[in-house]
Structure 1
Amino acid sequence: MLQNYFKIALRNLWRYRRVNLISIVGLSVGLACGIVIFLLVSYLFSFDQYHSKAKRTYWIVTDIRHENVTPTDATPRPLGEVLRRNYPFVESAVRLENVFRRVVGVPDGKGRMSKKFEESRTLCFTEPQFFDVFDVTWIAGDPKIALSSPNTVVLSERYAQKYFGTSQVVGRVLRFDNQVNLTVTGIIKNPPSNTKLRYECLISYSTLSTLSGTNGQQAMQSWDNVTTVCFVTLREGTPLAQLTNVLPAIRQKYLRTEEAKALDFHVLPLRDLSHNPQYGGESPYMILYVLIAVGLFLVGGACINFINVATAHALKRAKEVGVRKAVGSTRWQLIGQFMTETSLLTLVAVLLGMLLAQLGLPALNNALHMLNADLSILDLFLPRSLIWFLGLIIGVILLAGLYPSLVLARFKPVVALHGRMTTQQVGGLRVRRSLVVTQFFITQLFCIGVIVMMAQVGYMQVANLGFQKKSILTIPVPTDSPIKQQTLRARLGQIPGVEDVTLGVEPPAAPHRPPLPFTFDTHTQPEKFQTRVKVGDMNYLSVFDIKLLTGRNFRNNDTTNNEVIVNETMVKQLGVPSANSVLGKRLNIWGADRTVVGVVHDFYMGELRIGLQPLVLLNYYKENDMAALRIDPTNVTATMSTIDQTWNELFPEYVFKASFVDEQLDNFYVTERILLSLAQIFSLVAILIGCLGLYGLVLFMAETRQKEIGVRKVLGASVQQLIWLFGREFTWLLVIGFVLAAPVGWFLMNGWLQSYAYRIDLGWWVFALTLALVSGITLLTVGRVSLRAAMADPAKSIRTE
């Protein structure tokens, strides 16, 4: 029986190859996108879940509460040690601190460095307990003692090769930030790509006290600063409530009253490390769920396309069904035959879809280069993916094949053999129209999403940020010596092509840093809100073209300067009558009294997701670690070469690294650009699937209504009237799809736009453009076939009557 099903299925697939080709192409494209999306989502959900203790490991974060709440992903330094030492239900706790923009050198034994590297994000200070909490594969060294002493470091294989050219490096020495020598005590396997803890150079946590100078031990025991990321592993069977219940008591015991009120500890599961955007997660759950919905829409749309074509094509198989029933075939045998055909079609589409997905994965991996993503079609056969992949195949076979099979199997043999079946009887006209409406709904929903996302991303790229971002180069300042800083400024200012130079900490818009408390005027208590702090000298305003509203700039770059400049938002939140009212007033921040000398116009200090915030700009040379140069854009290459040469003459022991401000700002919107690219691709796929479905339906309509068209033409119908015969079938279905898609699209995209403090208006033009675009595509798809049918010779279509 099965062999007979298979043989007949192959014959029918070849006999109706044009229709089947449309079905296979539509289904394979939809499945390819579904596979890519589900591989991506499965990969992102797997982050840090491979650790054996992941389900009982938690991440402690801190909210700093004042007038506003500032979430941070860290805790005070002593918290992890207190939990580990004083609470038996804690199996282990580990503290770590990230390292940014530090230089790691390889000594040559002659007092110089044979190699130098500037490192960020892949380095951290941590404790031996790191290897108790997280799964790490060791190649050399003892995890119990490798980081137990100061000035020790554990390297990944990759970084051992990077620094020394070999993995046999235990006992070798690295120079960290030109301050301390680190002895290599262990080598570990490279971390996998599906972890946010992508550390390849782990420095002993006790080294921090050495780097902190004479007050090192005091700094390590201070509860004042929130600087350390803390993870806690609970003992088997310990309820999470035990940990959450002790945190308020710790806060009351170790923090002073005002600090206890300001810091609020929370416990998050380890899985939230990559998915909580409040605390730095790059792949929020909402985005992942939206991606899943998109994948289901695309696969569902492809299945709808298959069902539409299959049920419409059923008329051609009516006599076959009648003959089979007349000679004794049961309904379930017919269903088995048609499901076999559907299964074969689906398997061919799956194989083609897998091939298309594999061709697209390199582009996706490249887009996710910051995650070191290495997605492959072979990931489908991993345990975490195999279950949903098999479920997807079975679901597609059932969804795409079961309904057409039931429709075909219920044909009445007498009616079928006499050829009196109509399109209204095949699959139910309402059902087929509902499926077409659903396809139009999906297509138009995708179009609305892409149009809104393109408009928002375009707006972010051209928005006036309130400062100059073009032709400004930033380079490091690796010294806090005022003399060396001024020497650097003078030397850079003499380079042809350098128009102006400022020293500071960061450009006006930079990655978000926690705001700080301050007191204003005669107040004795900190203000109810906190402020962002920028550090820059007297040239900062001119280099970035930031406009003064009132008052003046810093008088000079004297290292004793105790002046500050604030912005308009600061003035508003202070509640003073006017900007002039703050001039000359005292403002205490960073533990020192300073005088407000000027007010600048507001400018954006970060992503457009974040609204305008109060700002204090101060001139403090000890914090300077960046020089910003406004350069002549006519000869950038030669200017940058001279800057590189000059910098290396002054700081030969450090690594020169330059970047333009506008490029740095582009990095704020990597997620948006990736989402936009995915949305554009998936929208094109949705449109392609819809077009294939419409093409198959109108092709079948032209064949089944050939005689009707011939008769109408003989009776005087014009070509336009005959084309409208096809067009009216789809026009009102398209309109219904739009009526359904418009409010859903508005709700979804308006919700997405609400996450941006500065955004486009979701106007009527979005929906008008969507309707016009889909109408045009439908017209092109339907028009060609319907025109050919309307122009056909009526004599050929009616002579068999």
Structure 2
Amino acid sequence: MLAHYLTLSLRRLWRQRQANLIRLASLSLGLASGLVIFLVVDYMFSFDRHHPHMDRSFWVVTDIKRESTLQTDAAPRPLAEVLRQDYPFVASATRLETVFGRTLSVPGGKRGWMKKFNEARNVCFAEPQYFDHFRVEWVTGDPGTALASPNTVVLSERYARKYFEGADPIGRTLRLDNRVELTVTGLIRNPPPNTQLRYDALISYATLPGLEPEGAMRDWEGLQSMCFVLLREGASPRQLTGALDAVRKKHLPPGKAAQFAYHLLPLGELNHERSGMAPRPVLYALIAVGLLLVLAACVNYINLATSQALQRAREVGVRKAVGSSRTQLIGQLLLETALLTVLAVAVALILAQLSLPLVNRTLAAQVEALHPAISTADLLRPQSLGWFLGLAAGVVLAAGLYPAWVLSRFKPAQVLTGLPAPRAAGGFTLRRTLIAGQFVLSQLFLTAVLVINAQLGHMQHVDWGFRHERMLTVWLSPPEPVPYEQLRQEWLQLPGVQSVTFGSDPPASPYNRPTPFSYHTATEAEPFETRLRAADEHYLPAFGLSLVAGRNFRSTDTTAQEVLVTETLVRQLGVSPLGAVVGRRMRVKDADRVIVGVVGDFRSGRLNQPVLPVTLVHDLGHTALAVLTLSAACPPTTPAAIRRVWDKALPDRVYKADRLDELLESFLGMERLLAGFVRTFALLAMAMSCVGLYGLVTFMAESRAKEIGVRRVLGARTAQLLWLFGREFGRLIILGFLVAAPLGWWLTESWLQQYAYRITLGVWLPAATLGLTVLVTALTVLGHALRAAVANPVEYLRVQ
């Protein structure tokens, strides 16, 4: 019997191949979309789940409570050592510090080095306990001693090839910032892509004291390191929470202790909290979108299957008349669905695999991951295989059960005598509900696309409040002194270089942490914070910043006493007029300074923030970049000449330059990624909706065939017959719009609230959404409806 069912199913699928190809394409597209989303989410959830003792491993983070609560991913440097020594329930604690902007060079050659590299994010200072907490595969070396001594380093295989070109790295040396010789004491496997701890070079933490100022390693107020704690078997996280509270009160002054709070996060949350790239709400939202797209594909299948119900009514009637039971009919119809689903899954796997390279590149560019390798082969893992097979079975039931139930209800006496059967099929109330649901989904995505595109365009035309065109940033590698004046004078002699300034950051920077300061009372901090920028006397004219009151820095200020403040800072101080602050003293960064001028406001950070108070400090010692302004007629040879000046003045440093406009564009990176995802999902949702509409118009043309024929014979015009279709779709569009419009408005308005510089929603949004929906619907159904309306009525009235 099963072979008989299989033969009949294959014969039926081939006979109706045009309709089945449409069903197959719709189901494949929905499944492929869902698969890509689920594979991405599964990859994000797999981060740092491979380490041992996950149930006892915790990450200590710090909240700073001032004007507002600032969540950080760091902890004080002495914390891990105190926990190891004073609390027996702590099996181990380790700290690590990620390196940014450090130079690692391979000694040798005529200039003292053979190769040099500017390293960031992939290199860290780590303690020997690091290897007790995290799974690291060793090629050679002793985990217990490799990082026990100062001036040692452990390399991954990738970085060993990078530095030593395949030669045995053990015993070789690297130079850090041209100050310290590091001996390679271990070789480890490359870190996996699904980890936040993606370190290719681990420098012994004992090296740090020789590089830092006196007392920096005992600083309880600075948050420089990441701290991880491993509890002993049977110890409770509550014990550690209590210990952290006691440590805070013991080692911080009473006035400062209230400003800090230590918290525990499970190690498995490393990728979802604080410094992670995949917050859980985002992942849950992606799961919901994936389920909606798969559900939409199932709805389309149902719509197309039920639209063919009339064609199969007599087949079902004959089968029942010769003794087929309802269970057998449902089994036969479900087998057809299962065959189509198997084909759809195969096609979906191919489509997903073809799209995953683009997904991997997008993720790598956005989150700086180590080349994620998401693949459909990940479905072969036991956990993934379980939900994938469950998804396929769910699709078979969701897409095939209702059409099978509808067709199996047909009564032989009705369908074999030519009596109408559609009512026997339940009136298809559910199919109209599903079509309306598709309209809700597609209009929600359309609303999101319109709002995100409008907001993105709005942000691209933002007035930053400073000049940023044709500006080149050259990054200064700490910590050795920089020949500022030599670089300035030689760069200014190059054709096309108009100005040179040095600073810690451009006016707008992603590193925009708040800094407390005092103005009214030297010993008491103000209730709000400022953002700091180290700058020289050329900073204001280079960026076109205007002085509202007072004067610019003087070059004779060599002790970093002079500061400039912005208008917003003065207003928040409650001082009027603005010039009244000039000559007054303020204390910031543990030093008394003098306000010499007030600068016009400018944007200092991301565009979801309002204009914030900023303080410019005349301090060359803390500058981290040079900014060169190039003329519009800058010769193409100038960038290479700029590098030659650098190599001559700083031969041991790595030259790294970027356009300032690229930095500002990076502020919109997440919005662009979101816009790309939403556009893709909107396109898929509209495609699903169009296929569903095709199914509905096919059903209407068949179920109302005799009515159309009678109306045509009685003189009905084509436009009147088209109205039969238009009225049906119009009701469903309006019904979907009544649900989607307020929901879409609420969702997008809530999303826009995170931006201080945002668009205003108006009547244009629902009008554009409804108009585009009507247009897409009309283009989808008009051709099919027109063919039904102009067909020869004899075809409809002929006795079947």
1:580 CA displacement: 1.7
Question: Which residue is 1:355 aligned to?
Answer: 350
How many residue pairs get aligned? The number is: 796
**Contact 1:482 1:559 survives alignment (8 Å):** no
Question: Which residue is 1:755 aligned to?
Answer: 754
Moved more, 173-182 or 258-267: 258-267
* Residues 568 and 139 (structure 1), Cα distance of their counterparts in 2 relative to 1, 3 Å cut: same
One-letter amino acid matched to 2:188: I
1:479 CA displacement: 6.7
Question: Which residue is 2:19 aligned to?
Answer: 19
Question: Which residue is 1:399 aligned to?
Answer: 398
1:697 CA displacement: 2.3
Question: Which residue is 1:71 aligned to?
Answer: 71
One-letter amino acid matched to 1:134: F
1:800 CA displacement: 4.6
**Contact 2:57 2:229 survives alignment (8 Å):** yes
**Contact 2:101 2:477 survives alignment (8 Å):** no
CA deviations 1:546-567 (Å, max 9, x no partner) are 2222222213364235211111
1:365 matched to 2:360 = yes
Question: Which residue is 2:378 aligned to?
Answer: 379
One-letter amino acid matched to 2:297: A
Match of 1:241 among 238, 242, 262: 238
CA distance in 2, matches of 1:574, 1:502: 29
CA distance in 2, matches of 1:312, 1:72: 57
One-letter amino acid matched to 2:80: G
**Contact 1:727 1:782 survives alignment (8 Å):** no
1:344 matched to 2:335 = no
One-letter amino acid matched to 2:119: E
Query: Aligned to 2:324, what secondary structure does the other structure show?
Result: coil
**Contact 1:318 1:421 survives alignment (8 Å):** no
One-letter amino acid matched to 1:497: G
Moved more, 345-354 or 519-528: 519-528
1:102 CA displacement: 0.8
Question: Which residue is 1:137 aligned to?
Answer: 137
CA deviations 1:663-707 (Å, max 9, x no partner) are 012222322212211111111111111111111221343244344
1:427 CA displacement: 4.0
CA deviations 1:459-507 (Å, max 9, x no partner) are 2222111112221110023477878111111111111101111111111
CA distance in 1, matches of 2:109, 2:500: 37
1:231 matched to 2:232 = no
1:31 matched to 2:28 = no
**Contact 1:100 1:120 survives alignment (8 Å):** yes
Question: Which residue is 1:288 aligned to?
Answer: 283
**Contact 1:473 1:660 survives alignment (8 Å):** yes
One-letter amino acid matched to 2:614: L
1:428 CA displacement: 3.0
Question: Which residue is 2:620 aligned to?
Answer: 621
Question: Which residue is 1:390 aligned to?
Answer: 389
**Contact 1:42 1:384 survives alignment (8 Å):** no
Question: Which residue is 2:318 aligned to?
Answer: 323
Question: Which residue is 1:640 aligned to?
Answer: 639
Moved more, 613-622 or 255-264: 255-264
CA distance in 1, matches of 2:749, 2:309: 42
- In the TM superposition, structure 1's runs of 4+ consecutive aligned residues that sit over 6 Å from their partners are 479-483
1:85 matched to 2:82 = no
Query: Aligned to 2:662, what secondary structure does the other structure show?
Result: helix
**Contact 1:311 1:427 survives alignment (8 Å):** no
* Residues 242 and 14 (structure 1), Cα distance of their counterparts in 2 relative to 1, 3 Å cut: same
CA distance in 1, matches of 2:347, 2:354: 11
CA distance in 2, matches of 1:268, 1:305: 43
Query: Aligned to 2:227, what secondary structure does the other structure show?
Result: strand
1:608 matched to 2:604 = no
Moved more, 67-76 or 682-691: 67-76
One-letter amino acid matched to 1:658: A
CA distance in 2, matches of 1:637, 1:373: 36
* Residues 796 and 330 (structure 1), Cα distance of their counterparts in 2 relative to 1, 3 Å cut: closer
* Residues 488 and 612 (structure 1), Cα distance of their counterparts in 2 relative to 1, 3 Å cut: same
One-letter amino acid matched to 1:671: M
Match of 1:308 among 300, 303, 310: 303
1:112-511 map, 5 Å: 112-166=112-166, 168-212=168-212, 215=214, 218-276=215-273, 279-369=274-364, 370-371=368-369, 372-478=371-477, 484-511=483-510
1:281 CA displacement: 2.3
**Contact 1:475 1:627 survives alignment (8 Å):** yes
CA distance in 1, matches of 2:533, 2:563: 10
* Residues 4 and 236 (structure 1), Cα distance of their counterparts in 2 relative to 1, 3 Å cut: farther
1:605 CA displacement: 1.3
* Residues 427 and 168 (structure 1), Cα distance of their counterparts in 2 relative to 1, 3 Å cut: farther
CA distance in 2, matches of 1:529, 1:672: 29
CA deviations 1:235-287 (Å, max 9, x no partner) are 233221111111111111122222212221111122222212xx222211111
One-letter amino acid matched to 1:37: I
Question: Which residue is 1:653 aligned to?
Answer: 652
1:108 CA displacement: 1.2
CA distance in 2, matches of 1:634, 1:444: 48
* Residues 181 and 588 (structure 1), Cα distance of their counterparts in 2 relative to 1, 3 Å cut: same
**Contact 1:312 1:426 survives alignment (8 Å):** no
CA distance in 2, matches of 1:486, 1:422: 91
1:110 CA displacement: 5.5
* Residues 113 and 799 (structure 1), Cα distance of their counterparts in 2 relative to 1, 3 Å cut: same
Query: Aligned to 1:91, what secondary structure does the other structure show?
Result: strand
CA distance in 2, matches of 1:384, 1:604: 47
**Contact 2:604 2:614 survives alignment (8 Å):** no
CA distance in 1, matches of 2:542, 2:158: 40
1:578-589 map, 5 Å: 578-589=577-588
Q: Aligned-pair RMSD on alpha carbons?
A: 1.7
CA distance in 1, matches of 2:420, 2:191: 64
Question: Which residue is 2:536 aligned to?
Answer: 537
CA distance in 2, matches of 1:699, 1:333: 27
**Contact 2:90 2:230 survives alignment (8 Å):** yes
CA distance in 1, matches of 2:6, 2:172: 67
CA distance in 2, matches of 1:52, 1:515: 37
CA distance in 2, matches of 1:13, 1:477: 68
One-letter amino acid matched to 1:176: L
1:297 CA displacement: 0.9
Query: Aligned to 2:291, what secondary structure does the other structure show?
Result: helix
One-letter amino acid matched to 2:343: V
1:529 CA displacement: 2.3
1:56 matched to 2:56 = yes
CA distance in 1, matches of 2:426, 2:154: 67
CA deviations 1:98-133 (Å, max 9, x no partner) are 110111100116561100110100010010111110
Question: Which residue is 2:590 aligned to?
Answer: 591
One-letter amino acid matched to 2:224: T
1:761-780 map, 5 Å: 761-780=760-779
1:625 CA displacement: 2.0
**Contact 1:537 1:557 survives alignment (8 Å):** no
CA deviations 1:2-56 (Å, max 9, x no partner) are 2222111111111222221111111110100000000001111111112122232
Question: Which residue is 1:95 aligned to?
Answer: 95
CA distance in 1, matches of 2:779, 2:482: 72
